[in-house]
Amino acid sequence: MANRHRIQAPLPDGQHVRLRSRHLDSYLHASTDGVGACLHRNPASMNAAWVVHRPPGEHVLVLLQSAAYGRYLAATDSPAPRGQHGFRTVQVKYYDYQADHAILWELITHDNYVQLRNAGGGGQGTRHLRANGRYFHFNAGRTRYLPRYTGVTVEDRGTTAHWNWAVETIPPCQAYPGIPGPINEPVPGNFAAIFLGLQRPPWRLIRFVQAAEDGSYVQQANGWNAFDFTGNSIFRLRKEVAEILQAVDNNIVMCVRAGRFGRLAPMLVDMPHDGDGDTVYIVVFTIGTPGEAALRYPDING
């Protein structure tokens, strides 16, 4: 179990945190489909890491950016799945927070925990982030929740212990932590996986640009390189990007930009297993440059 570093609000901009349900003792995770949010008991996962993003001039409201996929936690008006309460939460790209208040959250601070109230208009403005789960008991007296009810939703019906979250800070890594190794997936040329009947992973359009040593890069996407990519492996993706740039693959860091105003997030896990037809925007940094040194990597085992 990772050490728990608690912090009181206000949370500093750029801080990596975990959000632990005090009622279910489980963590807010970015779902591996890249779309939803769920609970999981494992804190030592990049999917449990979130970056506090404070919009310009904001002192109360925050955005929560997934360290796994670079997308932002948002409330919706879609009813929660059966067995859960309230309305769905999703991961979205960041285009304009002033027009899309669903990604804005107000931190309501209590003695040793927080509640997160969505700042969206209409009914969303009264909805709180809720951990869903049900208990059953073992003979030893321990408690566990039923996995199929572990969605994270928003709800506006009264105060509930399911709204209470402990904030645990994640210390930074001192250097680039690296990426996962290759995975076996049925991509073009992988005949063994195709023969086994594995489902084809998503196809994506990759658009990327190389950052200068100081971290600056061309903002207009029409000045970026582009190629088609099938699969979720960032190990293989990095090799293809490095070949185009004529660079050494383990000497570069790829960062995803999820939306025009999304902050760059280092790509440290394989891409979501959903996303067929998506366009992925990537900024490439060279390890050892001032631009790469300014990136922040969470130490998920810290």
205-251: pLDDT as tens digits: 999 999 999 999 998 878 899 999 999 999 999 999 999 999 999 99
CB burial of residue 198 (10 Å; 0-12, 13-18, 19+): middle
Identical fold for domains 5-169 and 191-293, yes or no, is no
Sign of CA dihedral 240, 245, 251, 254: negative
71/14 Cα distance (integer angstroms): 14
Q: Which helix (H) or strand (E) holds 135?
A: strand 135-137
Q: Which fold has domain 5-169?
A: Trefoil (Acidic Fibroblast Growth Factor, subunit A) (2.80.10)
DSSP 8-state assignment for residue 196: T
Structural domain spans, the chain: 5-169, 191-293
DSSP 8-state assignment for residue 240: H
- Which residues in the chain come in under a pLDDT of 50? 1-9
Residue 83: predicted pLDDT: 86
CB 142 within 8 Å of CB 129 = no
DSSP 8-state assignment for residue 44: S
Q: Closest by alpha carbon to 113, among 53, 35, 199, 23?
A: 23
271: which 2 tokens? 């891409």
Reduced to 3 states (helix: H, G, I; strand: E, B; else coil), residue 245 is helix
Return the residue matching tokens 């993003």: 53
Is the full-model pTM beyond 0.85?
yes
CB 218 within 8 Å of CB 211 = no
The residue type at 92: V
Residue 167: predicted pLDDT: 95
CB 104 within 8 Å of CB 94 = no
Instruction: Please determine, looking at this structure, whether the domain spanning 191-293 carries the CATH number 3.10.20.90.
Output: yes
129: which 2 tokens? 């982030």
Ramachandran sector of residue 103 (left: φ over 0; alpha: ψ -120 to 50; beta: rest): alpha
